[in-house]
Structure 1
Amino acid sequence: MRILLVLAHPLEDSFAAAVARTAREALEASGHVVDLLDLYAENFDPRLSKAERGGYFDQPYDTSALADIVARLNAADGLILVFPQWWFNFPAILKGFFDRVFAPGVAFSHDAAGGRIVPQLTNIRLLYALTTTGSPWWLVRLYMGDPVRRLLKRGIAAFCSKRLHFKMLSLHDMDRATDAKRKLHLDRVRKLLSTIR
């Protein structure tokens, strides 16, 4: 399987970077081809431009400014996102990745009758999110309603692909995590990704 592994963290020595390295190693050990898209290292601009927004309903929608990344997404069988949750949401650079790359003609098409969108990422068979949050699990799930999981599963995954396998693995209470807890989480990442066939 060809996996597009997207990392969204500005620090090269972050735990998110360690998760991405672990994910890549586990996937490659299982024979998968991994395309690492480090949004910060590749200087991805998350800002939706005036022209991009203005032409959102044009047929065809112009994705030429992002042709390389669109081609990488279209070549993938699976998408794995590695990112921290900040303020119970995506980092801005990852939100911009969705805004700009998951565009008409790439991730979906507009229904001719209007109103709804038609999934177009039929090549993507799995979407995994490997994430961390500074908050304890009960605050994220019980008080906040697990907003990142809902956005990814009910929004992005459901609207962009019809038969997509979704999983999310989170390390909660990251700010107080010990080395042992972080190591255990990396082991969980390896175990999860080793099941991909």
Structure 2
Amino acid sequence: MRVLLVFAHPLQKSFTASVALTAREALEASGHVVDLLDLYAENFDPRLSNTERGGYFDVPYDTSAVAGIVDRLKAADGLVLVFPQWWFNFPAILKGFFDRVFAPGVAFTHDVAGGRIVPQLINIRFLYALTTTGSPWWLVHFYMGNPVRRLLKRGIANFCSRKLVFRMMSLHDMDRATEARRKAHLERIRKALAAV
């Protein structure tokens, strides 16, 4: 399979970068082709332009400003997102990736009767989110309601694809994680992606 691995962290020596490298190695060792999309390294502009927003209901919608990335998404069988959670949310650059690339005619189409959207990413068979957060597990799940998981699974995955396998793997309390805990998390990721 061809996997689009989207990496969203500004630091190349971060633990999140280690997660991306581990994911890539595990996928490639299993024979998958990995297309690494490093949003920072590729200088991705997360801002939805006036033209993009103004033409949101145009048919066809103009994705020419992000055509190269759209082509990479359409060529993929799987999607792996690697990012930290900041303020219980996506980094701005990843949110911009969704806003600009998961566009009408790419990730979904508008139902002509209005109201609903129709999934279009039928090529994507699985979506894995590999993430870290500085908050402890109980705070993310019980106090905040795990907003990133809800947005990815109930929103993006369910609205943009059908019969998609979704999995989210998080290292909580990242800032206090021991080296042993970090290594164990990387091994967990390696095993999960080796089984894809």
Same fold (TM over 0.5): yes
Matched with 1:178 is 178
Residues 131-163 of structure 1: CA deviation (Å, up to 9, x unaligned): 000000000001110000000000000000011
Q: CA offset at residue 66 of structure 1?
A: 0.6
% same residue: 81
- Across the aligned residues of Structure 1 and Structure 2, the Cα RMSD in angstroms comes to 0.4
CA distance in 2, matches of 1:67, 1:103: 11
Instruction: State the secondary structure of the residue aligned to 1:128.
Output: strand
CA distance in 1, matches of 2:162, 2:3: 18
Instruction: State the secondary structure of the residue aligned to 1:169.
Output: strand
Residues 90-142 of structure 1: CA deviation (Å, up to 9, x unaligned): 00000000000000000000000011100000000000000000000000001
Matched with 2:39 is 39
Matches within 5 A, 1:9-158: 9-158=9-158
Give the partner amino acid of 2:74.
Answer: N
Residues 141-194 of structure 1: CA deviation (Å, up to 9, x unaligned): 011100000000000000000110000000000000111111110000001101
Give the partner amino acid of 1:172.
Answer: H
**Greater than 6 Å deviation, 4+ residue runs:** none
CA distance in 1, matches of 2:51, 2:118: 23
CA distance in 1, matches of 2:147, 2:64: 32
Q: CA offset at residue 51 of structure 1?
A: 0.3
Which residues of structure 2 form unaligned runs of 5+?
none
| Aligned residues between the structures | 196
Give the partner amino acid of 2:87.
Answer: W
Matched with 2:4 is 4
Instruction: State the secondary structure of the residue aligned to 2:166.
Output: strand
Instruction: State the secondary structure of the residue aligned to 1:89.
Output: coil
CA distance in 1, matches of 2:66, 2:96: 12
Which residues of structure 1 form unaligned runs of 5+?
none
Instruction: State the secondary structure of the residue aligned to 2:28.
Output: helix
Q: TM-score, normalised by structure 2?
A: 0.99
Q: TM-score, normalised by structure 1?
A: 0.99
Residues 54-82 of structure 1: CA deviation (Å, up to 9, x unaligned): 00000100001111000000000000000
CA distance in 2, matches of 1:72, 1:16: 22
CA distance in 1, matches of 2:121, 2:85: 25
